[in-house]
Amino acid sequence: MGPEAEKTAEWHDGIGKLMAAHAAAEVQQLIQPYIQIAAPLIAGEPPRYGGSPWIAKALPRRQDRMVLCELHPRAFLNLRANLGFDARVKLLEMDGYAGLKALLPPVERRGLVLIDPPFEAADEFATAAEAIGKAWHKWASGIYMLWYPVKDAKAVALFMGNLAQCGVKRILRLELQIDRPSANRPLARSGLVIVNPPFRLEEEAKILLPSLAGILGDGKPGFLIDRLTGE
């Protein structure tokens, strides 16, 4: 997605807190690249916030390329309007899981696959675990990162168990909680699973997540750093 206008003041409780925080120097160093990308949009009128493709677009080198898969027609039109001008970006109107099957392995030895499902389907966790396992067996040197909500602890635990048993050798799990999770409240805890996590990511997470929990947390903040598998 491209930058979307904020209809509420939600950004005040997220990136607004990060921008105003007086965190330790090592924490500021880690979050500064993100702030530099997002802050100009937030400062606009009306304030806007860029989705993950918009943020990712600011990071590649000149020789890098991005392939984005989006099945929802309106979201695809937004992608094309905001990113279609960039020669490094290829847009495909298709399901992301189908894209994993069709596009891997790429010609590059290294790269990142970002999986950001809507988690609207009841079997999303099972589908994601199977897709990551099959993709890794096709392209074992790639980095795979999947975002997930923590609404049902049992469903998340089953997902982690399935991932740990699919043969992947290096998986890092990170979670951030800003309040006690509850079915009657907005999402308060979410996480990332990273296959083949980059060097020093776990060490940087140990610096960053406790600070983020303190800055963004309200009520019952917390975090988790866990190696599901590792060599």
What tokens does 146 get? 């999947």
Give the pairing of strands 48-50 and 3-5.
antiparallel
Helix (H) or strand (E) holding 107: none
Three-class secondary structure assignment of the chain: CCEEECCCCHHHHCHHHHHHCCCCHHHHHHHHHHHHHHHHHHCCCCCEEECHHHHHHCCCCCCCCEEEECCCHHHHHHHHHHHCCCCCEEEECCCHHHHHHHHCCCCCCCCEEEECCCCCCCCHHHHHHHHHHHHHHHCCCCEEEEEEECCCHHHHHHHHHHHHCCCCCCEEEEEEECCCCCCCCCCCEEEEEEECCCCCHHHHHHHHHHHHHHHHCCCCCEEEEEEEECC
64 is an active site residue: no
Catalytic-labelled residue, pool 116, 123, 179, 218: 116
Active-site annotation, residues: 116
